[in-house]
Structure 1
Amino acid sequence: MASRPRSIAGMLRAAVALILSLTLLVQPAMAQSILRDAETEALLDEMSAPLIRAAGLDPKNVKVVLVGDNSINAFVAGGQIVYMNSGTIMQADNANEVQGVIAHELGHITGGHIVRFSEGAKAATGITLLSLVLGIAAVAAGAGDAGMGIMAAGQQAALGKFLAFTRTQESSADAAGAAFLEKAGITGKGSLAFFKRIENLEYRLAIPQDDSYGRTHPLSRERISVLEHQYQASANWDKPSDPALEEHFKRVRAKLKGFASEPATTLREFPERDKTEPARYARAYAWHKSAYPDKALEEANALLAKAPHDPYYLELKGQILLESGKPNDALPSLREAFERTRAQPLIAGLFGHALIATENPANFAEARNVLKAAVAKDNDNPFAWYQLGVVYEREGDLPRAMLATAERYNLQGQSQLALANARQAMQGLKEGTPDWLRAQDIAMVSEADVRKDRKKK
């Protein structure tokens, strides 16, 4: 009699595990870090805008967000946001390939696939629960082996149902992406090339290519076969990509490699004999990461010799100087980059940081204005909020320093710290003012989040 409850308990645990795994599949992992870079975001906006319009969406409302991961991947997780791993750009041959990836992900957005994902999970969970009930009934009747078999078959059927649902969504996104490329007047060569890249990667990783049943995506060769004819029949097939866009892409790809790769790897790929702009860009970051500021500055100055007013080269030089302990020397470059990008928020955050780092009180008022402009344009900028809190503290405005700190912790999901700082800010701010009301909002939201966290524990 003692063994039967343990068998039932084991089956219950197995069923719950499968249900939870389906739930996790519905919610992509968002614990990875988000990379913010002004030039990269400008490039992604430029690359995606015609596709977003072709999808019937407004470029102002759709974002392509870069995830700090060197593997190839892109996904959507709700709303009008495409998340793209930095490795997707680093491993792509050209901008057109990345446009194919963006077009596919826009297909998920316009198809409402994240909202509908729960439909697939619900159907699969229903099968699992039914098999659980039948299996337990069989065990209770004395047919333990039959009960276990029902459970196992139910789990397999549930997973198969869910995977079939996701494959259908992927095929739908492929078709939508192809339509968006066509409408935008962009060739599908890059899209095909990227699918072939994925297929080659799967072969190298020994991922089976003979059956799509156990996969979340259709077989890569099946996708290529379906899309190849459609792309080749398009009037855009032989249409070249915008040369200026492709050159900008090479710059940004090299920049990301310099930032994300080990310096030794970067210097092997971009040896010093390579005097091209992308190579110098990558090496500047590699030398900077290796704590060779003179060599990093040499590369930055060489870039500026060819393009003296390029805001992103100016930003690079200013960053090297600032992070090498020379904030006063960094100010001219960062000020010009700030002005030429019309106060781009990320560059503004760096410029404000440099002004504060001079430790010259005469610079604090400018820093405050620059940083306030930065967070007004881009509220989702923890670094700018941190710097704004610092300058308020240096000026003796502790309530607003607490409010800026609360904003930062709120963005970072640290509810307890956000709540504490928001409450302290409210004590020093005049009740009913915009700043007081904002502190109150953060406190209310954070308090609710803290309560939820306590209930989970």
Structure 2
Amino acid sequence: MLLILSFTAIAQPAAAQSILRDAETEALFRDMSRPLIAAAGLRPENVQVVMIGDPSINAFVAGGQIVYIHSGLIAAADSANEVQGVIAHELGHITGGHILRFQEGIKTATGIMILSLVLGAAAMAAGAGDAGAGILAAGQQAAMGKFLAFTRTQESSADQAGASFLTKAGISGKGSLTFFKKLQNQEFRYAIPQEDSYARTHPLTGERIQALEQVYSHDPAWAKPSDPALEARFQRVKAKLAGFVDDPKRILALYPEYNKTVQARYARAYAFHKTAFPEKALGEIDSLLQTTPEDPYYLELRGQVLLESGRPDEALESLRRAVQRAPNEPLIASLFGHALIATEKPDNFVEAKNVLKSAISRDNSNPFAWYQLGIVYDREGDHGRAALATAERYNLENQPRLALANAEQALHAIPTGTIDWLRAQDIAMVSRTAVQTEKRKGSDGVK
């Protein structure tokens, strides 16, 4: 069962895990990363920082200009400054073109491997079986060593680039070093060898710390404190993330009810809602709203709890206020649209359609918003656009067979040549190609 709170989990095969989407978190990531992205010479509107639902401490890039951060990394970080250090490092991979150049490392290692196969086979053919086997083994070891050296060079390059971005942005590198030291402590804890980096994809963490300390010690921003407002926002997001992903019993142990900090009340609100105590959850949220009555994210959560508790009519006021206070947050708008539909009142459907279309115009990569818009179209009797919205949803969820079926249905119902008809045609073409590729892989026995 998927629990939809302010966080929404969306399956994304590109990352092989669930993407966690939350308006407050994404706003924080944008503000944390914007100066670093600019320092890297990239356009902030073209770079995304995306959170993956994974408890391990990790971050990566996988092509394009998207930085993926595991939820476990946010949980392990103590400050926004630490996460900024991680983002800076990943931006170093993007500006260095490391994903594109990854194939170069593979090609070089493969060349060594092929040469060893040829020489080993020749030795075996000449009757020197042991020598041939030795050549094969040595070739494999050399190829792996060459590849690992290549990846270590990339990591060192990203470290240095990330440090330069922090310096240029006027952000202290203290958080970067602190986080590397946490990683080093993890390695000590799990008895990961620290003497030789030859068999590692990354340089030794101690070596990385030493190299970065030399850079940061001359950085004018070293002693500059992190933005207090940004740090306070980070602590809020960290607490709400814990409330969303952790076991409610653990949350209530970490944040007992006598703890009245913002973080504690925020985390408990999620824990109480997950354990089906909506009144307790609302009590925590209302106490937060007493201090900041127009906070859009508290209002969003209040509306979400009411909606998920089967009280959509009561949720509308909070969600409408949340949308008014954060008009550029499409995730909140899509939740408001969902609440309007959930009231089952036809008078609310027109507003729901307008709200959802506005949300999608700002962010068309939210399958939940497309799903809700499809419901509105279906209730209106516009089955062609309902099918198109459903095709959009399945296209985003990487379900090409369902996307194709709905796109073809839309093509038959929507007037030919219109913008919606052309969009349905695009989805049909892409999905048909994906289905054919799946069939070929299946016939070839490829898993």
- What TM-score range do you get, normalising by the shorter chain? over 0.9
Does structure 2 conserve the Cα–Cα contact (< 8 Å) formed by 1:51 and 1:180?
Answer: yes
Give, in whole Å, the separation in 1 of the partners of 2:222 and 2:313.
Answer: 52
Would you say 1:129 and 2:100 are equivalent positions? Answer: no
Give, in whole Å, the separation in 1 of the partners of 2:149 and 2:251.
Answer: 41
Identity fraction in percent: 69
Residue-by-residue CA offset, 1:350-375 (whole Å, 9 max, x unaligned)? 11110111011111111111111111
Map 1:378-389 onto structure 2 (within 5 A): 378-389=363-374
Does structure 2 conserve the Cα–Cα contact (< 8 Å) formed by 1:49 and 1:59?
Answer: yes
Equivalent of residue 305 in structure 2, options 311, 320, 334: 320
Structure 1, unpaired ranges of 5+: 1-27
Residue 142 of structure 1 deviates from its aligned partner by: 3.0
Does structure 2 conserve the Cα–Cα contact (< 8 Å) formed by 1:111 and 1:173?
Answer: yes
Give, in whole Å, the separation in 2 of the partners of 1:86 and 1:161.
Answer: 32
Does structure 2 conserve the Cα–Cα contact (< 8 Å) formed by 1:403 and 1:439?
Answer: yes
Would you say 1:199 and 2:187 are equivalent positions? Answer: no
Equivalent of residue 374 in structure 1, options 354, 359, 374: 359
Q: Which residue of 2 aligns with 1:78?
A: 63
Would you say 1:212 and 2:197 are equivalent positions? Answer: yes
Instruction: Specify the code of the residue in structure 2 equivalent to 1:76.
Output: V
Q: Which residue of 1 aligns with 2:339?
A: 354
Give, in whole Å, the separation in 2 of the partners of 1:396 and 1:437.
Answer: 21
Q: Which residue of 2 aligns with 1:100?
A: 85
Would you say 1:186 and 2:140 are equivalent positions? Answer: no
Give, in whole Å, the separation in 1 of the partners of 2:345 and 2:129.
Answer: 79
Residue 125 of structure 1 deviates from its aligned partner by: 0.9
71-80 vs 39-48, which moves further: 71-80
Q: Which residue of 2 aligns with 1:109?
A: 94
Would you say 1:288 and 2:276 are equivalent positions? Answer: no
Instruction: Specify the code of the residue in structure 1 equivalent to 2:232.
Output: E
Q: Which residue of 1 aligns with 2:73?
A: 88
Q: Secondary structure at the match of 2:68?
A: strand
Q: Secondary structure at the match of 2:44?
A: coil
Would you say 1:248 and 2:220 are equivalent positions? Answer: no
Q: Which residue of 1 aligns with 2:322?
A: 337
Would you say 1:30 and 2:49 are equivalent positions? Answer: no
Would you say 1:143 and 2:128 are equivalent positions? Answer: yes
Residue-by-residue CA offset, 1:83-110 (whole Å, 9 max, x unaligned)? 1111111110111000000111111111
Would you say 1:60 and 2:45 are equivalent positions? Answer: yes
Equivalent of residue 438 in structure 1, options 423, 437, 440: 423
Query: Runs in 1 of length 4+ with deviation above 4 angstroms?
Result: none
Map 1:229-240 onto structure 2 (within 5 A): 229-240=214-225
Q: Secondary structure at the match of 1:148?
A: helix
Give, in whole Å, the separation in 1 of the partners of 2:318 and 2:99.
Answer: 43
Q: Secondary structure at the match of 1:60?
A: helix
Give, in whole Å, the separation in 1 of the partners of 2:140 and 2:245.
Answer: 41
Q: Which residue of 2 aligns with 1:420?
A: 405
Residue-by-residue CA offset, 1:259-295 (whole Å, 9 max, x unaligned)? 1111111111111111011110011011111111111
Give, in whole Å, the separation in 2 of the partners of 1:209 and 1:289.
Answer: 42
Q: Which residue of 2 aligns with 1:6?
A: none
Give, in whole Å, the separation in 2 of the partners of 1:141 and 1:384.
Answer: 68
Residue 134 of structure 1 deviates from its aligned partner by: 2.2
Residue 388 of structure 1 deviates from its aligned partner by: 0.7
Give, in whole Å, the separation in 1 of the partners of 2:416 and 2:14.
Answer: 40
Give, in whole Å, the separation in 2 of the partners of 1:248 and 1:39.
Answer: 9
Q: Which residue of 1 aligns with 2:435?
A: 450
Instruction: Specify the code of the residue in structure 2 equivalent to 1:368.
Output: K
Give, in whole Å, the separation in 2 of the partners of 1:338 and 1:205.
Answer: 47
Residue 394 of structure 1 deviates from its aligned partner by: 1.5
Q: Secondary structure at the match of 1:82?
A: strand
Instruction: Specify the code of the residue in structure 1 equivalent to 2:78.
Output: D
Q: Which residue of 1 aligns with 2:32?
A: 47
Q: Secondary structure at the match of 2:60?
A: strand
Give, in whole Å, the separation in 2 of the partners of 1:141 and 1:349.
Answer: 71
Does structure 2 conserve the Cα–Cα contact (< 8 Å) formed by 1:372 and 1:388?
Answer: yes
Instruction: Specify the code of the residue in structure 1 equivalent to 2:168.
Output: K
Q: Which residue of 1 aligns with 2:213?
A: 228
319-328 vs 231-240, which moves further: 231-240
> What TM-score comes out, normalization by structure 2 length?
0.95
Give, in whole Å, the separation in 2 of the partners of 1:47 and 1:91.
Answer: 17
Q: Which residue of 2 aligns with 1:17?
A: none
Give, in whole Å, the separation in 2 of the partners of 1:180 and 1:432.
Answer: 48
Give, in whole Å, the separation in 1 of the partners of 2:239 and 2:269.
Answer: 10
Q: Which residue of 2 aligns with 1:175?
A: 160
1:29/1:399 CA distance change after superposition, 3 Å: closer
Q: Secondary structure at the match of 1:282?
A: helix
Give, in whole Å, the separation in 1 of the partners of 2:382 and 2:126.
Answer: 74
Residue 145 of structure 1 deviates from its aligned partner by: 2.3
Q: Which residue of 1 aligns with 2:6?
A: none
Q: Which residue of 2 aligns with 1:4?
A: none
Q: Which residue of 1 aligns with 2:392?
A: 407
Residue 171 of structure 1 deviates from its aligned partner by: 0.5
Q: Secondary structure at the match of 1:271?
A: coil
Does structure 2 conserve the Cα–Cα contact (< 8 Å) formed by 1:343 and 1:373?
Answer: no
Residue-by-residue CA offset, 1:139-162 (whole Å, 9 max, x unaligned)? 333333222222111111111100
Residue 343 of structure 1 deviates from its aligned partner by: 4.5
Instruction: Specify the code of the residue in structure 1 equivalent to 2:79.
Output: N
